[in-house]
């Protein structure tokens, strides 16, 4: 089972920062997951969403993408660009899991990975099928993964909506095994990045029948880790890589 640090080691250091990546590497993960988002000036940065309140850790509200890099750095000084992150990873031996949060920059990301010599140890994933097609078109050697489901508006984190989320996710999980073969074939994905709430033995078996791996996110408790490992997943993504040491 591959051990993947979510946004570096998001439970231990500010997420998607070089400090979080260093901590994950120190804890001997196999891969480091990070998010890629585009700004108004075309700069690709490491940020999970377009919500400035989340990305700035509560310093400022608004949207991320309309900002230029100097403006974003005023409220999120530790946030690295893609270029800075890839330079850091080039000095390590860890695998990379790049989760693409912008549909139109797949080719640019693949080209940057190639320029830094990181294609062979990277998996690039996205909910956006366009991004997956662009990644493969630019760099056929790059492994890609399809992410499911995508909570674009952060509904799962809103306490008032929590009672409604679980039944909805249950429905998605029941339909997932039928959909996975078509999605994997259509995108050329070799990895299915599945949230643990939609994970099932049938979903894992369907992926393995197509010789696709299953990585599950975001697993932060020992009991949940035991459950997903029992289902035969190939990789586990966690905010706290210390979980794997247990």
Supply the pLDDT for residue 28.
97
User: Model pTM?
Assistant: 0.92
What's the mean pLDDT in 169-188?
A: 88
Rounded to an integer, what distance in angstroms lies between the CA atom of residue 217 and that of residue 201?
Answer: 16
90: domain range? 2-245
Residue 34 contacts residue 85 (beta carbons within 8 Å)? yes
What's residue 227's pLDDT? 97
In tens, the pLDDT along 180-230 reads: 999 999 999 999 999 999 999 999 999 999 999 999 999 999 999 999 999
With beta carbons less than 8 A apart as the criterion, state whether 71 and 137 touch: no
Using alpha carbons, select from 221, 210, 58, 190 the residue that is nearest to residue 125. Answer: 190
Give me the number of domains the chain comprises.
Answer: 1
Mind listing the pLDDT tens digit for each residue in 130-154?
Answer: 999 999 999 999 999 999 997 554 5
User: How large a percentage of the chain has pLDDT more than 70?
Assistant: 91
Q: Distance between CA 211 and CA 191 in Å, rounded?
A: 9
Q: What is the CATH number of the domain that holds 116?
A: 3.20.20.190
pLDDT of residue 230: 98
- Mean of the pLDDT values across residues 81-95? 98
């Amino acid at each position: 089972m591959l051990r993947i640090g979510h946004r570096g080691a998001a439970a231990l250091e500010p997420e998607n920062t070089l400090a979080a990546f260093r901590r994950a590497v120190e804890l001997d993960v196999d891969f480091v997951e990070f998010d890629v988002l585009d700004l108004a000036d075309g700069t690709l940065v490491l940020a999970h969403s377009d919500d400035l309140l989340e990305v700035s850790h509560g310093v400022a509200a608004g949207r991320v993408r309309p900002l230029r890099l100097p403006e974003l750095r005023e409220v999120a000084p530790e946030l690295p660009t893609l270029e800075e992150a890839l330079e850091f990873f080039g000095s390590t031996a860890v695998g990379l899991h790049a989760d693409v949060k912008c549909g139109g920059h797949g080719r640019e990301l693949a080209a940057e990975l190639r320029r830094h010599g990181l294609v062979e140890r990277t998996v690039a994933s996205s909910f956006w099928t366009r991004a997956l097609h662009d990644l493969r078109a630019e760099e056929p050697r790059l492994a890609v993964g399809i992410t499911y489901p995508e909570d674009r508006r952060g509904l799962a984190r809103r306490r008032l909506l929590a009672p409604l989320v679980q039944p909805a996710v249950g429905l998605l999980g029941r339909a997932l095994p039928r959909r996975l073969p078509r999605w994997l074939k259509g995108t050329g994905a070799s990895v299915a990045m599945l949230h643990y709430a939609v994970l099932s033995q049938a979903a894992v078996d369907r992926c393995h029948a197509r010789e696709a791996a299953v990585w599950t996110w975001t697993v932060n408790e020992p009991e949940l880790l035991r459950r997903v490992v029992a289902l035969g997943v190939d990789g586990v993504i966690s905010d706290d890589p210390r979980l794997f040491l247990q």
